């Protein structure tokens, strides 16, 4: 989150790179304090009178709804622009104009857009904080914070041995998460079909203990297995997608040699990367992970709006 001129520490949340390790740990601590409110066990009105706009130019279930739940649980209101077919976007309105207008209506904007860099561009045209809820194959910083929160709660962050598996080329959740993981003392394995490797220039830009591996060689060692969906919508060519579709599937058999304490995460939605037989195993944490999006987004909204 970028620093602002006023007394607020953060002004927007565009990229995870804006946060230091201490900033991240601070947000995770705040999220822990909001958990009871997120579960509806405690009532809070700290964002009463504030309005959030969800501007989603791509599909979403969890991100949009957990932002809405977070804002409402803190006493705020939400307006949604999710169907760009029935908004002025369909008439050809530019993103800059949409942002200029909406930022006069609300106190914070959550933006998901297919173009990398869209959230940054929006922040340059907005009077209110912009939260990047995914910009193409770029970044997804709020997902990263909830992923780190899940690792901290369900496993361990410092010293964590984690495999990032699947579509490492196009997955924005991986592109954000891997950068944050390098701030901690982690060992990172990259597991993917050759066509979906993390791009070389991306790897060159990272420092830390990172190596490519086959899952069968590391399954006994890892603490976290983070699986991603093949990002079909980012493939320039349907034929290329068909070549890799279904090329990795986690089943209970894959996990026979896993550590007792292994946790499996997935940002969801899953298509077929994790068999439903895995859901009932002790390893599965993806539904808990999805819940943690609510306290994490409460903490982010509170920091941006307090």
Give the whole-angstrom CA distance, residue 77 versus residue 97: 23
Distance in Å, CB of 97 to ligand NCD, minimum: 25
Distance in Å, CB of 143 to ligand NCD, minimum: 5
Using CB under 6 A as the binding rule, whether residue 138 contacts ligand NCD is answered as: no
Nearer to ligand NCD, 11 or 140 (CB): 140
Nearer to ligand NCD, 161 or 175 (CB): 175
Nearer to ligand NCD, 46 or 65 (CB): 65
Using CB under 6 A as the binding rule, whether residue 9 contacts ligand NCD is answered as: no
Residues pairing with 250 in the sheet:
274
Using CB under 6 A as the binding rule, whether residue 172 contacts ligand NCD is answered as: yes
Nearer to ligand NCD, 100 or 197 (CB): 197
Q: Is 230 exposed, middle or buried (0-12, 13-18, 19+ CB in 10 A)?
A: buried
Distance in Å, CB of 135 to ligand NCD, minimum: 10
Show the binding pattern over residues 197-226: x = contacts ligand NCD (CB under 6 A), - = does not: ------------------------------
- CA distances in angstroms from 138 to 57, 120, 169, 177, listed in the order given: 15, 11, 10, 11
With CB under 6 A as the contact rule, the residue among 76, 129, 134, 141 that binds ligand NCD is 134
Using CB under 6 A as the binding rule, whether residue 120 contacts ligand NCD is answered as: no
Q: Report the relative pairing of strands 77-81 and 161-165 from DSSP bridges.
A: unpaired
With CB under 6 A as the contact rule, the residue among 175, 229, 285, 297 that binds ligand NCD is 229
Nearer to ligand NCD, 12 or 297 (CB): 297
- CB within 8 Å of 165: residues ≥ 6 apart: 191, 192, 215, 225, 226, 227, 228, 248, 250
Length of the chain, in residues: 306
Nearer to ligand NCD, 153 or 187 (CB): 153
SS3 category, 284: strand
Distance in Å, CB of 63 to ligand NCD, minimum: 4
The encoded tokens of residue 235 equal 């493939």
Using CB under 6 A as the binding rule, whether residue 268 contacts ligand NCD is answered as: yes
**Cis upstream peptide for 269 (omega within 30°):** yes
Give the whole-angstrom CA distance, residue 220 versus residue 281: 16
Give the whole-angstrom CA distance, residue 27 versus residue 306: 14
Using CB under 6 A as the binding rule, whether residue 144 contacts ligand NCD is answered as: no
Nearer to ligand NCD, 126 or 143 (CB): 143
In sequence order, what E strands does 44-192 have?
51-56, 77-81, 108-113, 130-135, 161-165, 187-191
Question: Do 67 and 297 touch, CB atoms closer than 8 A?
Answer: yes
Using CB under 6 A as the binding rule, whether residue 196 contacts ligand NCD is answered as: no
Using CB under 6 A as the binding rule, whether residue 148 contacts ligand NCD is answered as: no
Show the binding pattern over residues 150-169: x = contacts ligand NCD (CB under 6 A), - = does not: --------------------
With CB under 6 A as the contact rule, the residue among 11, 73, 140, 187 that binds ligand NCD is 140
With CB under 6 A as the contact rule, the residue among 34, 35, 55, 63 that binds ligand NCD is 63
**Residues of this chain that bind ligand NCD (CB under 6 A):** 62-63, 134, 140, 143, 172-173, 228-229, 267-268
């Amino acid at each position: 989150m970028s620093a602002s001129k006023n007394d607020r520490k953060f002004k927007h949340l565009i990229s995870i790179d804006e946060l230091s390790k201490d900033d991240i740990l601070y947000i995770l601590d705040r999220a822990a304090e909001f958990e009871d409110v997120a579960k509806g066990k405690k009532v809070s009105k700290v964002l009463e009178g504030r309005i959030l706009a969800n501007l989603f130019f791509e599909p979403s279930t969890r991100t949009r709804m957990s932002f809405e739940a977070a804002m409402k649980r803190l006493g705020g209101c939400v307006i949604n622009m999710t169907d760009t077919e029935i908004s002025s976007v369909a008439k050809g309105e530019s993103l800059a104009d949409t942002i200029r207008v909406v930022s006069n209506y609300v106190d914070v904007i959550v933006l998901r857009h297919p173009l990398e860099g869209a959230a940054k561009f929006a922040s340059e045209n907005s009077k209110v904080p912009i939260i990047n809820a995914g910009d193409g194959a770029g970044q997804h910083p709020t997902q990263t914070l909830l992923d780190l929160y899940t690792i901290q709660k369900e496993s361990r962050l410092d010293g964590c041995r984690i495999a990032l598996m699947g579509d490492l080329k196009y997955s924005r959740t991986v592109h954000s998460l891997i950068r944050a993981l390098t701030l901690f003392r982690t060992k990172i394995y990259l597991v993917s079909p050759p066509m979906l490797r993390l791009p070389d220039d991306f790897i060159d830009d990272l420092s830390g203990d990172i190596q490519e591996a086959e899952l069968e060689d590391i399954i006994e060692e890892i603490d976290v297995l983070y699986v991603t969906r093949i990002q079909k919508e980012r493939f320039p060519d349907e034929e290329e997608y068909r070549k890799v579709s279904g090329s990795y599937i986690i089943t209970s058999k894959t996990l026979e040699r896993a550590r007792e304490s292994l946790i499996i995460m997935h940002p969801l939605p899953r298509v077929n990367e994790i068999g439903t037989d895995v859901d009932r195993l002790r390893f599965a944490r993806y539904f808990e992970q999805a819940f943690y999006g609510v306290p994490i987004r409460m903490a982010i909204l509170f920091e941006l709006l307090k």
